[in-house]
Amino acid sequence: MANKVTVLGSLNVDTTLRVPRMPLPGETLSTENKSSAAGGKGANQAVAAARAGAETRFIGKVGNDDAGRFMVESLQEDKIDTSAIVTDKTVGTGSAFILLDEEGQNSILVYGGSNQQIKDAEVLAVEDDIAKADFLIAQFETPQAATLAAFTVAKQHGVTTILNPAPAAKIDPAILKVTDLVVPNETESAVLTGIEVTDRASMDANADKFRAMGAKNLIITVGSKGAYYATEKESGFVPAFKVKAVDTTAAGDTFIGALSSQLKSDLSNIESALTFAQRASSLTVQGLGAMPSIPTYDEIIAASKK
């Protein structure tokens, strides 16, 4: 049986500008290439979950514009249920501008647009979509009030909640109390706990702090090094696969989506699910663009056998 994953999140049209290096303040640089693709942390995570085999639904908002229609069609191409995506008549679809240098590093500017207009009532109106899920995923590119409403409903129906607190922001403490698994990177974890992530002891300290704040289970992604995990029963570190990164955009989103496609609701297989997610993420960074580089289940399994 495939995992049922519902994503509450952002839908952005990504415009990527290839640059030789990041510009200095006041400096003008020529871009080497420009491309546009479907993106947004929510959309990327949903596509990653769907391509990795999960039965996926999406809760979100787009503008009444070509970009919004493009985003909905992009999700539907991956057989994602888009019936809970609302069209905002007054605010345009979200967008992101990505500067990508020759080393594969990026800097990203995001315009929230309709993503920021998701209301609690709209989330509560799709309670059935949440109740049917094994996992509900949310990030910080949509309002925290909507996430709190969705996670509260999820817990009433026994759905496992996964919070990706990205981009890093001050968090409503009530959200962590209804979060089963929080998945920040090392920077985001430090922002939320006040404890810098430098070694295993500091990761354990982050896990203790999150537990005290209400989130019982933690995964910290540490870029090319790997991922730390701490559940109520165990903790450990799963190293990343060594590859040459071309574009790190959507690596973290691929990780979370792929993880949700394999994870058991009780997190009992967290180590093997993490290894699968790391493999998926390692494939994403070897391709250009966010959504186009997210791998399928077959591609992830094939890479595992090499």
What confidence tier does 287 reach under pLDDT thresholds 50, 70, 90? confident
pLDDT above 90: percentage of residues in the chain? 80
Q: Is 201 exposed, middle or buried, given 0-12, 13-18 or 19+ CB atoms closer than 10 A?
A: exposed
Q: Is residue 234 part of a domain?
A: yes
| Annotated binding-site ranges for K(+) | 247, 249, 284, 287, 289, 293
Lowest mean pLDDT among 23-32, 178-187, 236-245: 236-245
Which residues sit in the known binding site? 12-14, 40-44, 141, 185, 221-226, 247, 249, 252-253, 284, 287, 289, 293
> Is residue 304 situated within a structural domain?
no
Give binding residues for ATP as ranges.
185, 221-226, 252-253
Residue 134 falls in the annotated catalytic set: no
- Which pLDDT does position 288 carry in this prediction? 75
Task: Report the mean per-residue pLDDT for the chain.
Answer: 94
Establish if 152 belongs to a structural domain: yes
Instruction: Decide: 88 and 63 in contact? Cβ < 8 Å.
Output: yes
By DSSP bridging, strand 135-138 and strand 181-182 are unpaired
Please tell me the distance from the alpha carbon of residue 58 to that of residue 284, in angstroms, as a whole number: 21
What DSSP element (H or E) covers 129? helix 127-131
The residues, any chain, with a CB within 8 Å of residue 305's CB and separated by 6 or more, are none
In a domain, 305, yes or no: no
Residue 160 lies in a domain: yes
Strand order in the sheet with 106-111: 33-39, 12-18, 94-100, 106-111
Residues belonging to the chain: 306
pLDDT tens for 195-235 read 999 999 999 999 999 999 999 999 999 988 999 999 999 99
Number of domains into which the chain is organized: 1
Give this prediction's pTM.
0.92
The residue among 163, 118, 115 whose CA lies nearest residue 141 is: 115
Residue 26 lies in a domain: no
pLDDT of residue 169: 87
Establish if 257 belongs to a structural domain.
yes
Annotated catalytic residue: which of 65, 199, 253, 298? 253
Question: Per-residue pLDDT averaged across 9-30, rounded?
Answer: 93
Among 95-104, 114-123, 286-295, name the most confident range.
114-123
Tens digit of pLDDT for each residue in 231-255?
Answer: 999 999 999 888 888 777 789 999 9
Query: What domain range includes position 67?
Result: 4-19+35-296
In a domain, 199, yes or no: yes
Numbered residues of the known binding site for substrate: 12-14, 40-44, 141, 253
Of 178, 174, 235, give the one whose Cα is nearest residue 205.
Answer: 235
Where residue 160 sits, what CATH number does that domain have? Answer: 3.40.1190.20
